[in-house]
């Protein structure tokens, strides 16, 4: 059986992640599990449209660490994907040049539509036939953007085939910097954030028929963090979060509580990665609104009740690795 070894790097607004895996006709097999570093590359990008130098320095430090890992695990190809913050930064060439010098590969700044497709590929790659009811709506809630991706119904179109997708310029970092400026945020700030988020979701729903959704799959650090808190975990454990179905009422309550906490109060929870302490409230309010609006749309469309979602550790990074590997295999 033919196989290739590839490395995928996903550089978002808040974090950068590396994964090395063998890809063959049977799927993806990890060699180096995901390594995550919170670098806040998108620091103030929503306001200045430029990368701050200290944010670039954090990115370069992480890239140098990844270069060390890659030196120990030779690969057939590396794909470095940059998303929301890099799309918005006018000085992105500086970032791209610096990364290329360190890793020998130039970042691909992909559009939101491709980010959505890759997130859907990664999220659905681990779904067993009959395990979840299609159509699936994959929600990738990042620091700068949130992607909504709807797949087929498994009858007229394969459940793993993207039918519609939209990338919204809302995320944990962007909403925190734009609206939630006090500690804790005021009710006025929260209301302004909700109005902003709802406007983006309404726009997305004009492109994505979210009412057809039967199963929501949530990916990204915000979703898995809030899911772990809803499960009552004292420390984050991906094995206890990945693939678990979470009641929406449980996560609504957790999201609302952590949104209104002070930074000091959130710091007491080891479940939250230190790099997410400042922005987890912004992500929580986005997640609450997406869940509520999808449930409303589904009830209106087919009368179904969506009272839970599936938390997944598999998303954009898995999609990057799988897509890169499959392209290489096709060339051989």
Distances 47 to 14, 51, 89, 173, 202 between C-alpha atoms, Å: 15, 10, 10, 11, 23
CA–CA gap between residue 113 and residue 149 (Å, rounded)? 9
What's 161's domain CATH number? 3.30.420.150
What's 101's domain CATH number? 3.30.420.40
Residue whose pair of structure tokens reads 């209301």 in the numeric block:
191
Closest among 219, 206, 212 to 153, alpha carbons compared: 212
Determine, yes or no, domain membership for 289: yes
CA–CA gap between residue 22 and residue 5 (Å, rounded)? 4
CA–CA gap between residue 43 and residue 57 (Å, rounded)? 12
Number of H helices, E strands in the chain: 13, 11
pLDDT in tens, 23-62: 999 889 999 999 999 999 999 999 999 999 999 999 999 9
Q: For strand 15-24 and strand 27-38, is the pairing parallel, antiparallel, or unpaired?
A: antiparallel
CA–CA gap between residue 43 and residue 39 (Å, rounded)? 9
Cis bond upstream, residue 219 (ω within 30): no
Q: Which domain holds residue 289?
A: 127-313
Q: How many other C-beta atoms lie within 10 A of the C-beta of residue 57?
A: 12
Residue 319 has pLDDT above 80, yes or no: yes
Say if residue 57 is in the same domain as residue 165: no
Which H or E run includes 157? none
Collapsed DSSP state (helix, strand, coil) of residue 80 = strand
pLDDT in tens, 240-287: 999 999 999 999 999 999 999 999 999 999 999 999 999 999 999 999
What pLDDT score does 233 carry?
Answer: 96
Cis bond upstream, residue 184 (ω within 30): yes
Determine, yes or no, domain membership for 121: no
| DSSP codes joined into one string, 164-207 | EEEEES--HHHHHHHT--SSSPPHHHHHHHHHHHHHHHHHHHTT
Say if residue 23 is in the same domain as residue 51: yes
Determine, yes or no, domain membership for 117: no
Say if residue 193 is in the same domain as residue 231: yes
Determine, yes or no, domain membership for 274: yes
Total structural domains in the chain? 2
pTM beyond 0.75, yes or no: yes
Largest CA-CA distance found in the chain, in angstroms, rounded: 59
Query: Mutual orientation of helices 248-259 and 221-230 as an angle, nearest 10°?
Result: 100
Label residue 129 by pLDDT band (50, 70, 90).
low
Say if residue 284 is in the same domain as residue 146: yes
Say if residue 191 is in the same domain as residue 82: no
């Amino acid at each position: 059986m033919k196989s290739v070894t590839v490395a995928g790097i996903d550089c978002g607004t808040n974090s950068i992640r590396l994964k090395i895996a063998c890809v063959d006709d049977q799927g993806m097999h990890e060699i180096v599990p995901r390594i995550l570093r919170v670098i806040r590359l998108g620091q103030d990008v929503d306001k200045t449209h430029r990368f701050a130098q200290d944010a670039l320095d954090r990115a370069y430090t992480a890239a140098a660490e990844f270069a060390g890992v890659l030196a120990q695990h030779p690969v057939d190809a590396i794909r470095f994907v940059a998303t929301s913050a890099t799309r918005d930064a006018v000085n992105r060439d500086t970032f791209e040049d610096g990364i290329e010098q360190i890793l020998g590969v130039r970042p691909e700044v992909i559009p939101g539509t491709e980010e959505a497709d890759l997130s859907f590929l990664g999220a659905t790659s681990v779904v067993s036939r009959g395990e979840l009811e299609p159509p699936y709506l994959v929600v990738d809630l990042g620091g700068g953007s949130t992607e909504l991706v709807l797949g087929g119904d498994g009858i007229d179109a394969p459940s793993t085939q993207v039918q519609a997708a939209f990338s919204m310029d809302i995320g944990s970092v962007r909403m925190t910097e734009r609206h939630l400026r006090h500690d804790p945020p005021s009710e006025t700030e929260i209301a302004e954030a909700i109005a902003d988020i709802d406007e983006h979701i309404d726009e997305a729903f004009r492109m994505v028929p979210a009412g057809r959704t039967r199963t929501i799959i949530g990916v990204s650090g915000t979703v898995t963090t809030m899911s772990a808190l809803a499960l009552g975990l004292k420390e984050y454990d991906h094995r206890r979060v990945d693939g678990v179905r979470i009641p929406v009422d449980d996560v609504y309550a957790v999201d609302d509580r952590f949104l209104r906490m002070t930074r000091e109060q959130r710091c007491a929870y080891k479940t939250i990665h230190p790099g997410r302490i400042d922005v987890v409230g912004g992500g929580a309010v986005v997640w609450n609104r997406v869940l509520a609006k999808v449930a409303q749309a589904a009830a209106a469309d087919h009368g179904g009740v969506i009272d839970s979602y599936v938390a997944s550790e598999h998303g954009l990074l898995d999609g990057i690795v799988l897509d890169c590997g499959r392209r290489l295999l096709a060339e051989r």
